[in-house]
Structure 1
């Protein structure tokens, strides 16, 4: 091969000879990524780099071509719903678990996205590639376009904090099984105790399905006027939704089930402003047990989700996949718990 021909060799040329994507070849050659393909494939790529006289841009990349099970992986995470970024929220505690376990494992968080609106799918993948990210942890609000793009770029993906029915088949999942866990607690701690119950939160969720089915199983009717459809997860929007409900009716159920603690806290704020006493005039049950639930007055009874532990296990799942301990996706389902306080 002439010097002129050697100067013209690109990663695309090497990829064509290996039937691999340019991204895969680039991750091996420029980022020393030993997790993206097998050792045999890595050796093939490096032999072509040498025989075709490709000039490696990152000189350090060629130092080690063998997988190192003790290597410090670079991780990234994405918050799929911006409302989950608020301190004390569901996603906030998952992130704390992710960052803590990454440090414990000798890995690092080299890129994070708390506002998905800033990036189109291709742009987000480019940022991950620039940061040398080996695996991505996706927190809530999965979007098919983004996950498909990550798959096409061969990123290892672990999804956490959403309902499993929304999962792509190729990703790992860490979280809780929302429907059976919610149904269990509603049957034994909520619907069995009262005759008139209300709900506030999204209607297209397993939490609402569990609310409906718990009534059916226990043979209790649901009053549609006590069902408040609310799609947001913020305290302020929940507060406004409950205020609207109180303006149009003077009737109250004995108790409300809120789809999240933030929705419950927003509702309780409205009750206080309107002079409705909790739990004397209306009781309320939340979901997820964020840190604010124990500080409001009265304390919020809730179904506790192990959010911090979800973040920890998400890092463990990502690293086990990067270490090639398995080549198939898994589902890590953690248990919930009933946290009794004064609101119910």
Structure 2
């Protein structure tokens, strides 16, 4: 295996110069950098990472823990994290907890074992006391979810106001019998979106009907199953706000299978604006989260923490956008009005 001394000999420089080129290239002249890097490429030299860790106490690796890698929502968030990490010389270790708290803790152990320099959590399941104890030892940022009362840096949208926004859209188009398929209620985002749903109804003096609130588990199948329950009610809703786009896909399938149409018989809206939402039939009205930007901003905060910088803000709330498509009926209504005018 090639050693740093081999690179130094062939480049006719000292091993210390080779080390500086690889670790602090800004301290070396351009001619020397070019010469050394050419030899590194020719020899396919790979620095010994374990030795480097002992010298620098850095792994140049960050850990990202995601609750469910099968959910397409997270792919763009992860891409934002990875692009920012790579551009700053870091590699990413991905841990899929599969919504299991014990597995999440096992991934956190990688920090304790000094196998990563910091962590971005895309989940908030751990006990707050345990989380803050770890955050006091290692750089940590939470993205998408958050903890009430925690000082751990967080990047998210305002899920309560965005839920009110999509509900207001349905109410403005004449719906008063609006149901909500929630996510699991042990997840703070599910509680926030339910809160926005309730606030919108109460703000218009519309009754909050317990039978119109059904709990799903994020999956397409649960969206289907909960919509079947809503359709079986004696007086079913005329519109349904679904926690995420994936469950909305299942909900729309249930409506179609029942012989009804979306949005003519029942409007369905989702949340997140995953890619398939604009290709499904009908196209899904949804709330667009800036997924890639959430990842980039979270990684940028983590970089600052790892560099010992003081953060100006620890709670960053990014803007969301209501995307109106066919599934809510608004576009069809607009077309109908235009036809009348003609």
TM-score normalised to the size of structure 2?
0.71
Alpha carbons of structure 1 residues 221 and 149: separation in structure 2 relative to 1, 3 Å: same
In the alignment, what sits opposite 1:303?
A: 287
Measured after TM superposition, the shift of residue 304 of structure 1 is 1.1
Measured after TM superposition, the shift of residue 301 of structure 1 is 0.3
Distance in 1 (alpha carbons) for counterparts of 2:133 and 2:216: 27
Where do 1:73-222 residues align within 5 Å?
A: 73-79=60-66, 81-82=67-68, 85-88=69-72, 90-109=73-92, 111-115=93-97, 117=100, 119=102, 123-130=106-113, 132-144=115-127, 147-148=131-132, 150-151=134-135, 154-162=137-145, 164=146, 166-167=147-148, 169-187=150-168, 189-193=169-173, 194-202=175-183, 205-222=191-208
For residues 107-142 of structure 1, give each alpha carbon's deviation from its aligned partner in whole angstroms, at most 9, with x where no partner exists.
Answer: 211x22112649557643432344631110000233
Equivalent residue for 2:251, pick from 259, 267, 291: 267
- Are the aligned partners of 1:254 and 1:281 in contact in 2 as well (CA < 8 Å)? yes
Measured after TM superposition, the shift of residue 106 of structure 1 is 2.5
Aligned length: 273
In the alignment, what sits opposite 2:15?
A: none
For residues 82-126 of structure 1, give each alpha carbon's deviation from its aligned partner in whole angstroms, at most 9, with x where no partner exists.
Answer: 3xx1152x22321122112212222211x2211264955764343
In the alignment, what sits opposite 1:326?
A: 310
- Are the aligned partners of 2:153 and 2:315 in contact in 1 as well (CA < 8 Å)? yes
- Are the aligned partners of 1:201 and 1:263 in contact in 2 as well (CA < 8 Å)? no
TM-score normalised to the size of structure 1?
0.71
1:241 aligns with 2:221: no
Structure 1 residues not aligned, in runs of 5+:
1-57, 66-70
Measured after TM superposition, the shift of residue 268 of structure 1 is 0.5
1:252 aligns with 2:236: yes
- RMSD value, Cα: 2.8
Measured after TM superposition, the shift of residue 220 of structure 1 is 2.5
